[in-house]
């Protein structure tokens, strides 16, 4: 594995002594936001992790190396190249590594590389899931499969609201993935704090999150844990407005024949357009909120 995996000096030093580390994905840099906002946001998220007491480890593939921990120049490189960087899921890793190519990691691939590096906690915006109409398209994110197999705690603001949230929860139940609501009994819906769907358990402190994850791993149950952390109330969007924008974006994507891994970037960009940029502002705030909780939880795990 040493031929494939490369840790930054800060991440390597932290892991060596058992200090808290938080993994961060890179598709939000290359495919989630326009330049230069993507780079600015990535650096703000890293700083939020540091301020909350942990070491950030932004994850990606650069020149065939699985990297955990990036320099500011590497983040700038991903941001400037944007969608030209391959959106890399599990299936893409062997070819990207063999070719010495670049890849921005999805939730699934970030989990894989985090686990290989020994990082237990990962903060993101929202996970992928079962897309609307999946009963005919079979469009289901690899993120759900990864949560069922890879032992990493993923802290997010729920599944992206462009998805079928009910079916996403059913899929996670089948895979045995605990879905935790941080301070809530209801699944957050990314841009909004509520969805109408219940989570499996409510947990109110980072210490209890750490204890639950530790128990899961020590019992050998396998798989990951999903923690859903509602967007701060002051940044939550009006449900009627955002759902109307999502419905329009989904209809537009179907009309244009967009599918597969192009679906989520298109929908997020179209929703941003339809909301006059308000959805992007909400996205940034929820990611920062998740990064802070992830850092506090990683610190609680490290204190044992």
Contact call for residues 224 and 152 (beta carbons, < 8 A): yes
CA distances (Å), origin 223, targets 5, 100, 147, 179, 303 = 21, 29, 6, 12, 23
Phi first, then psi, for residue 41 (nearest 5°) are -65, -45
Give me the pLDDT at residue 1, please.
65
Residue 45 and residue 79: Cα distance in Å, rounded?
Answer: 14
- Domain ranges in the chain are 5-302
Give, in words, the CATH class of 5-302.
alpha beta
What are the tokens at 2?
């040493």
Cα dihedral across residues 231, 232, 233, 237: positive or negative: negative
Q: Which residues of the chain have pLDDT under 70?
A: 1, 260-261
What amino acid positions are annotated as catalytic residues?
25, 160
Give me the pLDDT at residue 292, please.
98
Contact call for residues 213 and 153 (beta carbons, < 8 A): yes
Buried b (16+ CB within 10 A) or exposed e, 64-95: bbbbbbbeeebbbbbbeebeebbbbbbebbee
DSSP label at residue 233 = G
Contact call for residues 227 and 120 (beta carbons, < 8 A): no
Bond before 36 cis per omega within 30 degrees: yes
Contact call for residues 68 and 7 (beta carbons, < 8 A): yes
**Inter-helix orientation angle 206-218/278-302, to 10°:** 60
Residue 222 and residue 122: Cα distance in Å, rounded?
Answer: 17
């Amino acid at each position: 594995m040493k031929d494939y995996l490369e840790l930054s000096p800060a991440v390597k030093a932290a892991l060596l002594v058992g200090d808290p580390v938080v993994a961060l994905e890179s598709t939000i840099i290359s495919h989630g936001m326009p330049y230069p906002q993507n780079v600015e946001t990535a650096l703000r998220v890293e700083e939020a992790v540091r301020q909350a007491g942990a070491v950030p480890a932004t994850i990606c593939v650069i020149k065939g190396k699985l990297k955990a921990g990036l320099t500011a120049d590497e983040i700038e490189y991903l941001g400037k190249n944007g969608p030209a960087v391959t959106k890399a899921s599990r299936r893409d890793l062997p070819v990207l590594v063999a070719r010495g190519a670049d890849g921005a990691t999805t939730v699934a691939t970030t989990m894989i590389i985090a686990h290989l590096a020994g990082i237990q906690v990962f903060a993101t915006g929202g996970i992928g899931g079962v897309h609307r109409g999946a009963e005919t398209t079979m469009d289901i994110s690899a993120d759900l499969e990864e949560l069922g197999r890879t032992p990493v705690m993923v802290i997010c603001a729920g599944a992206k609201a462009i998805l079928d949230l009910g079916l996403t929860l059913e899929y996670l139940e089948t895979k045995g993935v605990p879905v935790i609501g941080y301070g809530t009994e209801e699944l957050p819906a990314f841009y909004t704090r509520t969805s109408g769907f219940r989570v499996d358990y409510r947990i109110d402190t980072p210490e209890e999150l750490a204890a639950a994850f530790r128990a899961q791993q020590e019992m050998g149950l396998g798989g990951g844990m999903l923690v859903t952390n509602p967007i701060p109330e002051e940044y939550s969007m009006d449900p009627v407005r955002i759902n109307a924008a999502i419905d329009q974006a989904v209809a537009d994507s179907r009309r244009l024949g967009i599918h597969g891994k192009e679906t989520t970037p298109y929908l997020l960009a179209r929703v941003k357009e339809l909301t006059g940029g308000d959805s992007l502002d909400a996205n940034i705030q929820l990611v920062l909120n998740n990064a802070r909780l992830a850092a506090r939880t990683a610190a609680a795990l490290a204190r044992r």
